[in-house]
Amino acid sequence: MLEDLKEPVEQLKKDIDDVWSRLNPEEIRAKIAEKEALTTAEGFWDDNDKATKVMNDIKMLKGRIEPWEELRKASDDMLTLYELGMEEGDQGLESELKEMYEKAKAEFDHQSILNLLSDEVDKNDCFLSVHAGAGGTEACDWTFMLSRMYQRWAERHGYKIEVLSQEEAEGGLKSINMKISGPYVFGYTKGEAGVHRLVRISPFDANARRHTSFASVYVFPVLDDSIEVNIDPKDLRVDTYRSGGKGGQHVNKTESAVRFTHIPTGIVVACDSERSQLMNRATAMSILRSRLYEYYKEQQEKENSKFAGEKKDISFGSQIRSYVFQPYTMVKDHRTKFSVGNIQGVMDGDLDDFMNAYLVAKWKGLPMESSQDDEV
């Protein structure tokens, strides 16, 4: 019945108007006008890199409001069609209105997520690393499982994955550092930073006892040339060493692996994925720039948990998410309280609902401190 569509159509319009008010469209239009004025200045295209950045900024700003303008128009059109159908008693308009509603609702859901990815570096690729914590062999296996989970997630979305370095250990991995490339990768993955807890019957325990293991995930944005991070060469200690693992004789017999230590901050990065030391140096420097960007941003904003920079103890009570295999199956995020029972699906990369729940909670300004009272 046509009457049944009144409530969902009105609710969708209310939701669209609510987001529109949060966007502060007048401020965005002013920024667009300011940047468009730059494009008319004499010699604008003389500096191609600067001009390209301005044009990309304009495109990004327009992309924040134009889809919502279209949604506002669509919501008005739906209400007009509904009122017309009710006035004329034309139930035949039901299918047309329903189709309009479903299309607008799908676009609303899509734009709502994109709207949450509006930070300076949300659109960038990311460096994602996983480090084993408390739990010994169990933790190393858990680190391997988590790295596989993120690789499966990336594959689901058609993102490119590159393993930059990894340290193997009994049972799995002591640590792994990956680069994931694709649209808005950092924006989606930044909420994964923190301690992840595993509860299961250990395959390494002959007595089949339940074990708890921990691993820590760090996520950093890959920075492009538009974001400046100054690194004084005098502040760097550079070490080269032989790369381990697969790669042929050349990899193992030459000191192609590179480790940078930034002395003022103590940040250490390494790369051993390439046969060429020069290429490993370039990748390691890119990782260091990303790490320092976050470090200085944290210092400026005085928020230890901004992005992935917060380094909590990798142990009980500090986890952001728990993965329980026995005696029941559940994955629960302790910040957003979102949980699912299909743990195998999550381990196969079905992480979108967790990532979206985090983004929505951040958008709404909800408190997201995990607590031991919330354990599963």
Domain boundaries, given as residue ranges, for the chain: 2-116, 126-221+309-374, 233-301
- Which CATH number, 3.30.70.1660, 3.90.1170.50, 3.90.550.10, 2.120.10.70, labels domain 126-221+309-374? 3.30.70.1660
DSSP state letters, 149-160: HHHHHHHHTT-E
User: Is residue 5 within 8 Å of 95, Cβ to Cβ?
Assistant: no
pTM: 0.72
Specify the pLDDT at position 376.
63
- Same topology, domains 2-116 and 233-301? Answer is no
Specify the pLDDT at position 228.
76
Task: Collect the ranges in the chain with pLDDT lower than 50.
Answer: 246-251, 303-312, 316, 372
Specify the pLDDT at position 309.
45
> What are φ and ψ of residue 241, in 5° steps?
-155, 170
Using CB atoms within 10 Å of the CB of residue 9, give its burial: 0 to 12 exposed, 13 to 18 middle, 19+ buried.
buried
Percent of the chain with pLDDT over 90: 59
Specify the pLDDT at position 251.
47
Which tokens sit at 95?
């299918």
CATH topology of domain 233-301: Double Stranded RNA Binding Domain (3.30.160)
Specify the pLDDT at position 86.
87
pLDDT tens by residue, 129-166: 999 997 789 999 999 999 999 999 999 999 999 999 99
Asked if CATH classification 1.10.940.10 holds for the domain at 2-116, the reply, yes or no, is no
Expressed in angstroms, the distance from the first to the final Cα of the chain is: 44
For helices 25-39 and 6-23, angle between their N-to-C axes, nearest 10 degrees = 50
